[in-house]
C-alpha cells in the first residue's frame, strides 16, 4: 500500500469519488429533441419537363439563411430572456431534484443573468444537421416535463421570429413602394393643378386646336378676300363708274383687317397663342410624365406586394418536441470509466516524467 500510495491517491481515490458521485449523487438528466426546417414558396422555372423538375418547381425550398438566423436566436440572450419571462427557466434549472453540482447556480458561480446564460448554453444544443438539412434543438432538464416545455417554448419563439422577419421584410419593401406611389401621386396632382391654373389664367383650353381654328378661319377669309378682289378688278375694268366698287373696297378692307386680327391672335404679339405654346407644352409634358410615373409606381407597388408574399418563409416542424420517458444522462458507468482512464493516463505521464528526471539527475 505504501509503495503504491501515489497511484492510490491520484487514480484509485478520485475514481472512487467519481463512482460515488455518478452512482449515488448525480441527478438524472432528460433530453427533449425537436427538428424543423424553414421553407418558402419556390418559383424556379425549368425548361425540362421532367417529373423531378416538376416536383422541384411546385415544392418548397429551404431557407438556409433564415435557419441559421433562427438557430442563432435560440442560442442568444434574447431567447433566454423570453424563456425566463414566459417559462420560468431559472426555476426549472434550479430544481431541487437536481444535485448541487448539476443545478443552477453551480457552487462556484453566482445567480446573475450572465451566469445563467453560460449555464443555458450548456443545457441547449441548437445546430444544423447538414446531412438532412434540418435544424435540431435539444434541451436538457431534470424532469421530462421541463425538457418538453422548454423545447416547445423555443419552437414557438423561433416561429414568432420567422413571422417577425417576414413582417419586417414586407413592411420595408412595401413601405418604400408606397412612398414612391405617394410621391408620384403628389407630382401628378401638382401637374394637373398647374395645367388647369395656366388654362384659366391664359383663357386657353388647347392652344394647338385653338390656333388651328384661328388659322382655318383666317384662311377662309383670305379666300373670300381673294374672290372679292378678283370681282373688284373685273368691275374696275368693265365698269369703272359702277357704284358697287366703293362697297367692294370697304368689304375687302374689313376682311383684311379681320385677317390681320386673326393672325395677331396666333403670332406676332406677346399675348398670341404661339407665345403661350411653350409654357403650355412644358406643363403638358410634365402632366404626362408624372402620370406615367404614377402608373409605374403603382405597378411597382403591386409587384412589391406579390414579391413579399412569394418570399414568405415558414417554420415547418418536422419533429415535435418529445416527452422523454427515461433519462439519457449522465452515462454513469461510461463516465466513471472515462474518468478512471484519464486519471490513469495522467498518472503514468507524470510517473514517466518524474522517472526521467531522476534517471538524469546527478548521483551526488
DSSP per-residue string spanning 103-163 = SSSPTTS-SSHHHHHHHHHHHEEEEEETTTTEEEEEEEESSHHHHHHHHHHHHHHHHHHHH
CA distance 135 to 35: 5
pLDDT for 99 equals 92
Can you give the pTM of this predicted structure? Answer: 0.64
Which of these, 283, 109, 275, lies nearest to 195 by C-alpha position?
283
pLDDT for 83 equals 95
Tens digit of each residue's pLDDT (9 = 90 or more) over 147-183: 999 999 999 999 999 988 888 877 777 888 888 999 9
* Statement: residue 205 has pLDDT above 70: no
Q: Average pLDDT of 42-47?
A: 43
Q: Average pLDDT of 350-362?
A: 81
What does the H/E/C string look like for 25-42? HCCCEEEEEEEEEEEEEC
Phi, psi of 135 (to 5 degrees): -90, 140
DSSP state for residue 61 in the 8-state scheme: E
CA distances from 270 to 217, 262, 266 (A): 21, 14, 10
Tell me which long-range contacts 213-221 makes (C-beta under 8 A, separation of at least 24): 214/262, 214/265, 214/266, 214/273, 215/262, 215/266, 217/262, 218/259, 218/262, 218/263, 218/266, 221/255, 221/258, 221/259, 221/262
Beta strands in the chain (DSSP E): 30-41, 60-62, 124-129, 134-141, 314-319
Tens digit of each residue's pLDDT (9 = 90 or more) over 257-274: 887 776 555 555 555 555
Phi, psi of 231 (to 5 degrees): -65, -40
pLDDT for 45 equals 39
CA distance 242 to 248: 11
Which of these, 263, 50, 70, lies nearest to 157 by C-alpha position?
70
CA distance 269 to 293: 36
Tens digit of each residue's pLDDT (9 = 90 or more) over 291-303: 999 999 999 888 8
CA distance 318 to 34: 8
Question: Averaging pLDDT over each range in 1-15, 200-214, 221-235, 321-335, which range is the top one?
Answer: 321-335
Amino acid at each position: 500500500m505504501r509503495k503504491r500510495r501515489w497511484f492510490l491517491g491520484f487514480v484509485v481515490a478520485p475514481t472512487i469519488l467519481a463512482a460515488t458521485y455518478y452512482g449515488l449523487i448525480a441527478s438524472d438528466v432528460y433530453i427533449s429533441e425537436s427538428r424543423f426546417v424553414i421553407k418558402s414558396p419556390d418559383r424556379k422555372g425549368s425548361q425540362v419537363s421532367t417529373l423531378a423538375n416538376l416536383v422541384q418547381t411546385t415544392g418548397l425550398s429551404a431557407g438556409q439563411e433564415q435557419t441559421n438566423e433562427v438557430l442563432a436566436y435560440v442560442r442568444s440572450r434574447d431567447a433566454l430572456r423570453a424563456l425566463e419571462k414566459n417559462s420560468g427557466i431559472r426555476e426549472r434549472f434550479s430544481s431541487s431534484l437536481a444535485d448541487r453540482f448539476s443545478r443552477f447556480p453551480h457552487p462556484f458561480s453566482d445567480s446573475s443573468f450572465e451566469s445563467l446564460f453560460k449555464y443555458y448554453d450548456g443545457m441547449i444544443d441548437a445546430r444544423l444537421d447538414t446531412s438532412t438539412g434540418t435544424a435540431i434543438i435539444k434541451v436538457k432538464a431534470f424532469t421530462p416535463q421541463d425538457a418538453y416545455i422548454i423545447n416547445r417554448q423555443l419552437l414557438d419563439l423561433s416561429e414568432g421570429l420567422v413571422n417577425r422577419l417576414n413582417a419586417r421584410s414586407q413592411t420595408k419593401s412595401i413601405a418604400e413602394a408606397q412612398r414612391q406611389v405617394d410621391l408620384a401621386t403628389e407630382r401628378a396632382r401638382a401637374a394637373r393643378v398647374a395645367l388647369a391654373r395656366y388654362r384659366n389664367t391664359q383663357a386657353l383650353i388647347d392652344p394647338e386646336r385653338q390656333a388651328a381654328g384661328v388659322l382655318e378661319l383666317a384662311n377662309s377669309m383670305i379666300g373670300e378676300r381673294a374672290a372679292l378682289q378678283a370681282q373688284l378688278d373685273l368691275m374696275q375694268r368693265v365698269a369703272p363708274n359702277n357704284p358697287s366698287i366703293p362697297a367692294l373696297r370697304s368689304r375687302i378692307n374689313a376682311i383684311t383687317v379681320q385677317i390681320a386680327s386673326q393672325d395677331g391672335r396666333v403670332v406676332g404679339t406677346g399675348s398670341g397663342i404661339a407665345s403661350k405654346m411653350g409654357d403650355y407644352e412644358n406643363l403638358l409634358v410634365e402632366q404626362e410624365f408624372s402620370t406615367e410615373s404614377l402608373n409605374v409606381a403603382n405597378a411597382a407597388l403591386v409587384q412589391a406586394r406579390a414579391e413579399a408574399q412569394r418570399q414568405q418563409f415558414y417554420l415547418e416542424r418536422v419533429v415535435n418536441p418529445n416527452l422523454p420517458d427515461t433519462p439519457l444522462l449522465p452515462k454513469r458507468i461510461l463516465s466513471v470509466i472515462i474518468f478512471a482512464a484519464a486519471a490513469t493516463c495522467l498518472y503514468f505521464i507524470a510517473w514517466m516524467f518524474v522517472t526521467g528526471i531522476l534517471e538524469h539527475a546527478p548521483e551526488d
